[in-house]
Structure formats: C-alpha cells, structure tokens
C-alpha cells in the first residue's frame, strides 16, 4: 500500500532484488510518478473488492506504507490481512517534534482548530486538497490558501485560493509562500518525515501553527522506516 516516500524506497529495493510485488496507489493526483514494480491506481471500491484483489494476487505479505492519516484504508487493510492470514506491517515515520521557537498548538479535531484560529485570519491550510470539503465550517470568516499538486478548473470553494506546487517544498519556497499570501496561521497535520519546511518557515516568521495530532496507532506490527520494513520482509522470508 503505497503513496509515500517510504513506499517508493521500499518499491525501489524490491525491484532491485527482483522480488515480485505490487504497489497500490490511491490515485489522488494526476501524475503520481512511476514505481519500478507493477502498480495499480485508484480506490478498490470497498472492503469486499479490496479483499478480492488481495486473494487474486495471491500475496504472502502486506506492507502498509500509506500516509499516517490514511486511517480508513489502513484499518481496512489490517482487517483483510488478518482475515486471510497474511503477514502485515505498518510503516509509520516518526512524528515531528517541536523545536525552540516553534509556536505549535497541538489539536485533535477540526473543531479544536476552529476554536483556536481567530476569525479574519489568513490561513495556509496544509492538509491536502483532497480534504478541502471537510473545512467548510472553518472557512467561515477566514481566508484559506490550500496547496495542490495538479492544476484544476474547479473554483476554490471558499474565500482564498488554490496554490499549485510540486514537492519537494524547500525552506526558501515556504518562506516566500507565507510572505506572498500574508499568512497569519498555518494549519497542518503531524505527518512526520523530512518535509517540514513549512513548519520551519512558520517558526522563522513567528507564525503560529495549529498541528493536528496523529490518529491512534493500530494494534499491529510497526516500523518507522523503509529500511526497517525491508529488514522485516527479509526476516519473514528467511
């Protein structure tokens, strides 16, 4: 189960080792990039369809390297793996930790964000374009700017605009973005990983951040890196 840097690193090594594997992408962008192994793209169409796909693939192990906030697909994947008796591993990179000077406000829900960020604020909503519809209540009385990878003809649904950009987003780029759009607040999810430049830029400019904490971890085997996932797979095949 792919879609992250960790998933790509795992796929690269599996291809190099000649291991038969399939990457599954959610298909939330028009150009997700090529994986060096067989790749399927798009939703499964529900739990039964996903289980049918897994059965037809005759897989022996499942590595879930989806986004830390992809709770629905992760929970469903674990349920299916257990039901079919497949070995299962969740890859979860470490969460970000606050540094000196950060003005982070850790929150658990969108209602918490709504209570925290004042009306009239100009907000960089760094939670992904696919979740934009979930922020309709929060958008009332605020100006939002949300980044997306793909260009779209769809109008931005709130006061504000889309920001089109391709990762990786370096510190200088994020500094320029926050200044150009006169951002007062940053709203982000604690996804972890190396792409924290927006948080570093917020710290440098003294901007507060509403940081959504991660969902509860599933009760299953976990590792934090692609290297650990590959070591786990090697051990399973020993």
Is residue 83 domain-shared with residue 170, that is, in the same domain?
A: no
- Is 39 within the bounds of a domain? yes
Q: Is the pLDDT reported for residue 167 higher than 70?
A: yes
Average of per-residue pLDDT values in the chain: 94
- The Cα 116–Cα 202 span in angstroms is 17
- Is 99 within the bounds of a domain? no
Is residue 109 domain-shared with residue 198, that is, in the same domain?
A: yes
Q: pTM (2 decimals)?
A: 0.89
With a pLDDT cut of 70, the percent of the chain lying above it is 97
Is residue 12 domain-shared with residue 47, that is, in the same domain?
A: yes
What range does the domain containing 165 cover?
104-212
Q: Which residues contact 52 (CB under 8 A, 6 or more apart)?
A: none
The 10s digit of each residue's pLDDT in 42-70 is 889 999 999 999 999 999 999 999 999 99
Number of domains forming the structure of the chain: 2
- Is 90 within the bounds of a domain? yes
Is residue 79 domain-shared with residue 174, that is, in the same domain?
A: no
**Tokens describing residue 223:** 């590792």
Contact 66, 82 (CB under 8 A): no
pLDDT at 168: 82
Is residue 175 domain-shared with residue 228, that is, in the same domain?
A: no
- The Cα 125–Cα 186 span in angstroms is 6
Q: With helix as H, strand as E and coil as C, how does 45-56 read?
A: CCHHHHHHHHHH
Task: List phi, psi (to 5°) of 57.
Answer: -75, -15
Is residue 127 domain-shared with residue 69, that is, in the same domain?
A: no
Is residue 227 domain-shared with residue 188, that is, in the same domain?
A: no
- The Cα 238–Cα 219 span in angstroms is 24
Is residue 181 domain-shared with residue 157, that is, in the same domain?
A: yes
Q: What is the DSSP letter of 133?
A: G
**CATH number for the domain that contains residue 188:** 3.40.50.1980
Is residue 67 domain-shared with residue 12, that is, in the same domain?
A: yes
Is residue 69 domain-shared with residue 126, that is, in the same domain?
A: no
- The Cα 87–Cα 83 span in angstroms is 11
CA angle 2, 135, 25 (to 5 degrees): 10
Is residue 223 domain-shared with residue 205, that is, in the same domain?
A: no
**CATH number for the domain that contains residue 67:** 3.40.50
Most confident of 43-47, 120-124, 152-156: 120-124
Q: pLDDT category, 194, cuts 50, 70, 90?
A: confident
- The Cα 49–Cα 149 span in angstroms is 28
pLDDT at 166: 86
Is residue 198 domain-shared with residue 221, that is, in the same domain?
A: no
Q: Is the pLDDT reported for residue 33 higher than 80?
A: no
Q: Is the pLDDT reported for residue 236 higher than 90?
A: no
């Amino acid at each position: 189960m792919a879609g992250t840097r960790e998933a790509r690193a795992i796929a690269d090594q599996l291809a190099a080792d000649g291991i038969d594997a399939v990457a599954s992408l959610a298909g939330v962008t028009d150009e997700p990039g090529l994986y060096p192994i067989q790749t399927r793209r798009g939703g499964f169409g529900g739990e039964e369809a996903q289980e049918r796909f897994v059965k037809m693939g005759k897989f022996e192990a499942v590595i879930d390297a989806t986004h830390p906030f992809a709770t629905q697909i992760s929970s469903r994947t674990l349920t299916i793996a257990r039901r079919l008796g497949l070995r299962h591993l969740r890859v979860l990179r470490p969460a970000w930790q606050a540094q000196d000077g950060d003005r982070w406000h850790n929150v658990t829900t969108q209602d918490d964000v709504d209570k925290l960020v004042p009306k009239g604020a100009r907000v960089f909503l760094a939670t992904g374009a696919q979740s934009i519809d979930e922020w309709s209540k929060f958008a009332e009385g605020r100006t939002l700017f949300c980044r997306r990878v793909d260009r779209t003809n769809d109008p931005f649904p709130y006061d504000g605009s889309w920001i089109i950009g391709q990762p990786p987003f370096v510190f200088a780029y994020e500094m320029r973005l926050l200044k150009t759009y006169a951002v007062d607040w940053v709203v982000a999810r604690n996804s972890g990983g190396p792409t924290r430049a927006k948080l570093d830029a917020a710290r440098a400019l003294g901007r507060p951040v509403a940081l959504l904490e991660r969902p509860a971890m599933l009760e299953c085997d976990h590792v934090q890196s692609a290297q650990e996932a590959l070591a786990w797979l090697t051990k399973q095949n020993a």
